[in-house]
Every structure is written in structure tokens, then in C-alpha cells.
Amino acid sequence: MANELACACRKRLPSGLAVDAAFRLPLDRATVTVLFGPSGSGKTTLLRLLAGLERPDEGCVQFRDQTWFDSTRGVSLAPQLRRTGFLFQEYALFPHLTVRRNIEYAARDPRKASEWMSRFDLTWLSPRLPRSLSGGEQQRVALARALAAEPALLLLDEPLSALDSPTRGRLRQELRRELVESGIPSIIVTHDRIEAMALGDWMAVLIGGVVHQAGPIDEVFRHPANVQVAESVGVENVLPGEIVGRAEGLATVRVGGTRLECVDSGETGAVCVCIRAEDVTLAPGSAAVSSARNRLAGRIRSLVREGPLARVEVDCGFPLVAVVTAQSAGDLHLNPGDPVYAVVKATSVHLLPR
């Protein structure tokens, strides 16, 4: 029995967007999977196709040894037969039922309902109605109700989007812990990069209805498969370049009038150079000696403070964005117009074909 979710299905929407999703999710290695992509890319539609709430036009969906959908064989299991739990954006709690009754409805057993309420610290809220709960409390009730049904797969559609920013930040870690401890494989829809990194083990990037890359979340963020994925996951520096040499496992790539060294990935000719802003270190005056292969002389074009961080754009023969802490920017006395060195390790330069 393959311990995976395999999806290869197509659905054309009234808007004209065609969701054409093909990916495999290893359930034994990915407790929490993030379905990531910009708004309007088809993420919620794909979640509904997996749940059986919508029917694909064609294709197949296989969960472990069970076929959920197969257009060629005429198989289309109803949602209740797939045993998926679905946590909607707005939580969809029954407004006329108390917290306890909401959870009992899913658990079908008062004793199990009590266990889930205790696990999520909801016992004291037992007699309350949903309208009297805070956003965070509603989220815990909805998650407890979804897990109380003991689903084979839990699907969550932007479960934190309705919360204010401070609450959302606080609940990310709590949600991650609850999902991992439940042991039930989960797929979470989000378009928030910070949320994706905080919640997920595995990631599938959906752009324009197509899954462009799927894999361990660190791998997707550090080594995007193409330019669309790089831009989607927030690689700030995606620059045109050209391979001009290679030796001893390193490649030399020309970007503007500057040369960079990077790990030789086998690319040739025209490439796109991807460098994450947090991988750029700034040093005033002469760059200190380090193991980094690239020490680029430049001048600060702009500096924008964003709360505890500062976004710095450096002209070093091409525009290069760095993100440093606001405290570091102050300690280094960084100001627009100042000369500066940008230091980038060869391992932090990722090449894509152009």
C-alpha cells in the first residue's frame, strides 16, 4: 500500500481558470502540507476537489489504497466516504449549538467530545455559543470539531486569515503543535510565506491552477524550480545572468557588470540568478575576510525600515536587496549614498534556466 496522496485532476472554472493539478504527497513524511500560491490561483478549488465537495472534469485522486476519484472508471466517492475533515475559513460552527454540542456532533460520543475539549482547553467554554467566542477560541473549537471526527485527512482553508495579525502570529505555533500531535495528515491553504514556513513540513506551490513544485518546505524555499516559484515564495533578487566559466565545482556567472561565484548546478548560457535577501550580509568600508566567495563593492540606493527589519537596496553593478535587522542598520550607520560591501556565499546563489 502506497502511503501517499496522489492527485492528477483537471477542473475548468466559470472564471476561465483551469485547475490542472498533479502532485504526490508522501503521508509518512509530511504531517502538515502547505498548499501555497497567490490569491486566485485555485488553492481552495483544489482543496474542495480533494474533499469531494466539487467534482473534477477529468483525472484521478488516490488516497493510500483507496480511489477517491477516477474519471475513466466512473469512480467518485462522496465526501463522507473519503473521511476528510474540512476546516473552512469562517469556521462554519453551528451558531445555535454550544461549544460542547458542536464537538459532540462530530465525535458522536460525549466521552470523546470531552477528551477533545480538554485537549484544546475548551472545557470551560462548554456552555457558550459561538457568537460569544473570540476569533482564537472559535478557531480552536472548529479544529477540535474537525479532529473529533477522526478524519483520514484534514483540509484547512486559510484557517488563520480571519484573525488579527497579533492573534494570528500567536496561534501559528499552537496550530502547528496541535496538527502534529494529532498525527492526522493535514493540508493547509495559505498565501502567506511566514505562515507557510511556520506551519508546514511539505509544500506544493500552485500558480495559475498548476502545481509548479512540490517537496520539503525548506527545499522549495531554498531551491525554487522556476522563476514563477521563486517570485511566489518571495525570493527578492531574481536577476538575469550568463554563465561565463566553471572550475573546481564552482560556476562563474556574469550579472550586469559584476561576476558572482556559485555552486555549479550544470546550467549553461543564459540563467536567472536567485538570491534571498536574508542571505546578503552588509559590511561598511572594506569587507571583512570571510569564507564567502562573493564580496561586492556597492553603494546604498535606498533603506526602508519595516518594524524590526530594514530593507536595503545596494547598487553593486546590479540592484541587490538585503534584509538586515533595524538594529544592525543602526549599528552599521547605513544610509542612502554610503559605500558598502554586500557579502554572499556561493551556496546562497541559486541558478535557474532562462
Query: What is the pLDDT, as a whole number, of residue 311?
Result: 95
Q: pLDDT at residue 337 above 90?
A: yes
Please name the residue that has the C-alpha cell 562563474: 252
More confident residue, 147 or 73: 73
Kindly state the average pLDDT of the residues 325-336: 90
Q: pLDDT at residue 239 above 80?
A: yes
Q: How far is CA 157 from CA 83, 183, 186, in A?
A: 17, 19, 11
Residue 1 pLDDT level (bands cut at 50, 70, 90): low
Please give the angle made by the CA atoms of 175, 177 and 180, to the nearest 5 degrees.
105
* Cell, residue 94: 453551528
Query: What predicted TM-score, i.e. pTM, was given to this entire model?
Result: 0.86
Domains of the chain from N-terminus onward: 4-232 (3.40.50.300), 240-353 (2.40.50.100)
Please name the residue that has the C-alpha cell 504527497: 25
Dist CA 316 CA 235 (whole Å): 18
Please give the angle made by the CA atoms of 163, 167 and 172, to the nearest 5 degrees.
95
Q: pLDDT at residue 15 above 90?
A: no
More confident residue, 123 or 1: 123
Residue 62 pLDDT level (bands cut at 50, 70, 90): very high
Dist CA 212 CA 224 (whole Å): 9
Please name the residue that has the C-alpha cell 480538554: 118
Neighbours of 115 (CB within 10 A): 15
Q: pLDDT at residue 290 above 70?
A: no
Dist CA 352 CA 354 (whole Å): 6
Q: What is the pLDDT of residues 206-218, one digit of tens each?
A: 999 999 999 999 9
Kindly state the average pLDDT of the residues 117-122: 87
Q: pLDDT at residue 159 above 90?
A: no
- The distance in angstroms from the start CA to the end CA of the chain is 40
Query: What is the pLDDT, as a whole number, of residue 78?
Result: 94
- Closest Cα to residue 150, out of 184, 178, 118? 184
Taking each helix axis as running N to C, give the angle between helix 135-148 and helix 99-107, from 0 to 180 degrees, rounded to the nearest 10.
Answer: 20
Q: Give me the sign of the Cα torsion angle 198, 26, 190, 83.
A: negative
Q: pLDDT at residue 288 above 60?
A: no
Q: How far is CA 269 from CA 129, 229, 243, in A?
A: 63, 21, 5
Please return the burial class of 152, using the count of CB atoms within 10 Å of its CB with bins 0-12, 13-18 and 19+: middle
Please name the residue that has the C-alpha cell 558598502: 340
Neighbours of 11 (CB within 10 A): 21
